[in-house]
A and B are shown apart, each in its own frame.
Chain A
Amino acid sequence: MAAGAIGLENMWRELVRLCNEQFESRPFTRLLNSKITKLRAQHYSIQMAYYVQNRRDCWGYVQGSAPLPVKQIVWRHEEDELVGRKAQGKVDHITLAIKEGEVFGLSAEAFEKTARLDGGEVCFSAWIHLAQKSWLEAIAASAILEMRNSGELVEGGSLSRRIAAIFERDLGIPMKKQVNNAEHVVMDVEHAHLLMQVAKRYATTPSAQEAILCGARESLMIDRVYRGHLADMLESLD
């Protein structure tokens, strides 16, 4: 049991290290060094709505394969994402993405009429494939993306915060008006702890911890490819 606990701490440190390393990768550097125009912000915003939808697909599969107590945790996680916290007047995250689009001059129809990036589509399929693997790999694959978006774990700020800062710098839109980015800056700090909560109970053996690391690594690899495609898209929009 003690050995499991030590392994768990090492596993967590490695996961945090991987999330931080993500920002030093070429695709992330390219994306985060992009200059943002209104047109680029519009397309980025639309593609991110598709990304959010893909997250809902993957979390559904994770919920399907996980043990009952973990299903309950995932279900609560999906409340924020899928339906919103109605009691607190918070809308779901797809609606939030569309609402944020208004700030960039986008209509709801623009989200419906703009196709997914080819490269994005491939990445989404890859993430779904990961979500259908063993449940520990699957949950790690989805949860690591929220860890990578936690300002508490990533030095220099989460992806949502960094993107929001670029939009503010280049377009003069303050973060509080970027409602989707602003929400994720806060929410993913909370959501980032989901994986450790689950791991403490279910990843007490080296093989279980390795399954988590494996799912996380594969997901971060897809994430890098996806961000590279987004950077390509932004470059092409002049």
Chain B
Amino acid sequence: MIVAERKPMEEIIQMIAPYKKVLLAGCETCVAICWTGGEKEVGILASQLRLARSNNGGKIDIVEATVERQCEKEMVEELREKVDGVEAVLSLACGAGIQTMADVFEDKPVFPAVNTTFLGRPEGEGVWLENCGACGDCFLDRTGGICPMVRCAKGILNGPCGGTRKGGKCEVDPDKDCAWVLIYNRLKKQGRLDLMYKYYPPKNFRAVKRPGKMEAIKA
């Protein structure tokens, strides 16, 4: 899933400062799961923004809406009437959703209320961890299912680097595991350590030429 975090409040308030009527649009997929941009979060942020504005002696009309997936043009289209009635759109969806809104409603300023951070999965309550870098050249078969591109802070293919801390923690952040120690342990457990002894040549960083595009093959 895509993980995003709400932007600092000052930034959001500044973005919509010139406007009196704004649509706050959420998404019920990834950002709802990570408690950033679902219907509930839309309600809370809308309330906060109204309080912020009235606190400064002003007034703002925040229209609240959520779609199932903000990255789908057809779903976003359902908001057209609401969008027509506002001056700007503030979106709590991930970057893909925000840009879909911006592309579909080309004449309206669309603002990001979140910073989209990574692809990952939940780990316990309220914690999400990055585990995929969308590099287009998946290496998981060679590392026991642990991605060295994003779970290693330096993204190296022949690890570990000399910076591993005591207990197998990462040079960069002592709270984070050294991915290559994790890979070593996983492959050892499976009796496939030979994979780690192999030399891996430099990565093809152009496997996905940005902006990426994929076309499904039609029968």
A binds B: no
On A, residues with C-beta under 8 Å from B are none
